[in-house]
Structure 1
């Protein structure tokens, strides 16, 4: 199986690479600054040709197209849109709109760039899967005074960007169902990464084990759905 992964230099993306290599898969890994991705480079030394590292900035259309071109004609079985940022969590009266635009470009538009550029390769693959990492904080239903992960309201840019991504995935699922494309949203939860902090309840290896299990079990009948890392369907 051949996987393409964005944001592969650290956190959940890096753990995806590590676990996929361990089970014998091939990975096309995208990193914004490859020469600084020391842990990813270390994995490549042992993996040989099963891991190729490419420069990739999902905010930049030319970079995304170059990433797709560098893969060549090799089919991609699964595209994992993992790259994302949290942005500033300022209150409404203090919003940084440049930061909001950056978050939207990365979290919502970036995965659409990736899906568009790699779609021909994915449709040539055996499993034809595109998955996007999202968050429970993008759920409209769960954005209540009770909060998610202890956060009630706030995080405007982050919530909005992921809600937009969620809608993009649903549209993709509708448009490409007849071509056999399977696409889904995956919520990793609050994870012990640089973004999630050590306060998070879930270890990154545990999270990725669960996410890979969900990806492996995805079928066309479940395309267009929203799952947590344990395979439970989430509220929109």
Structure 2
């Protein structure tokens, strides 16, 4: 039975990933910063026996190491770096930037996925599929940036794209594949009410991309519908 570890599993895309993987019979390791407050995730875990809820704040690297140690005997097929924050706010704009919040945004969106890859590398090596999937954003694209703003979020996702592209090269000799996924503009708390697609469509598409992944795609920036976003990761 295949195993997926999902960060930020308590809402939005993370919650939908848990549901769709559980429906497919996967073992789902669902990580949430405050499991006791994750009511929707708890209800899902009651519905599907394959879901295990684990406490994890990806900003706390000691917690990441502790969880990796706790799961030392668990092979992982797909490590799904989904947890993320937006960071930017109207109050924190150029001229009034909250640099502490920016650092935290970078820590969660850029550094934490790399830390997760480091901590769970041995688990992935013992898995069958050996894939690290990262939920990024088109807002991390320099080519696509025609509106400016969102300095924290844009830079953190551009950084995520860059480091995962490098890891796709560094980890290829070990058979570890890297997926950099654009989920589309999704109706979630972060995406807002004017988004174009719902989480079910986005996640179904990304799961299909992950399932059909081949090593020659490693490091590519791929949209939820399977299209490769050439030139958009730089």
- Per the normalisation by structure 1, the TM-score is 0.94
Task: Determine the structure 2 residue equivalent to 1:211.
Answer: 206
Q: Secondary structure at the match of 1:196?
A: coil
* 1:92 matched to 2:87: no
Task: Determine the structure 1 residue equivalent to 2:74.
Answer: 74
Q: What CA distance in whole angstroms lies between the structure 1 residues aligned with 2:131 and 2:103?
A: 28
Equivalent pair of 1:30/1:67 in contact (CA under 8 Å)? no
Unaligned runs of 5+ in 1: 145-151
Task: Determine the structure 2 residue equivalent to 1:223.
Answer: 218
Q: What CA distance in whole angstroms lies between the structure 2 residues aligned with 1:63 and 1:167?
A: 25
Aligned counterpart for 1:192 among listed residues 176, 187, 190:
187
Task: Determine the structure 1 residue equivalent to 2:9.
Answer: 8
Q: What CA distance in whole angstroms lies between the structure 1 residues aligned with 2:10 and 2:60?
A: 18
Q: What CA distance in whole angstroms lies between the structure 2 residues aligned with 1:87 and 1:76?
A: 30
- Per the normalisation by structure 2, the TM-score is 0.95
What's the RMSD between the two structures over aligned residues?
A: 1.0
Unaligned runs of 5+ in 2: none
Task: Determine the structure 1 residue equivalent to 2:46.
Answer: 45
Please list the CA deviations of residues 117-155 of structure 1 after superposition, one character each: whole Å capped at 9, or x if unmatched: 1111011111100011100010111113xxxxxxx1000
State how many pairs are aligned: 228
Note the C-alpha offset of 1:47: 2.1
* 1:168 matched to 2:148: no
After TM superposition, list the pairs within 5 Å mapping 1:107-186 onto structure 2: 107-144=109-146, 152-186=147-181
Q: What CA distance in whole angstroms lies between the structure 1 residues aligned with 2:95 and 2:106?
A: 19
Task: Determine the structure 2 residue equivalent to 1:147.
Answer: none
Equivalent pair of 1:86/1:195 in contact (CA under 8 Å)? yes
Please list the CA deviations of residues 15-42 of structure 1 after superposition, one character each: whole Å capped at 9, or x if unmatched: 0001111111110111000100111111
Runs (4+) off by over 6 Å: none
After TM superposition, list the pairs within 5 Å mapping 1:8-27 onto structure 2: 8-27=9-28
Aligned counterpart for 1:202 among listed residues 190, 197, 212:
197
Task: Determine the structure 2 residue equivalent to 1:149.
Answer: none
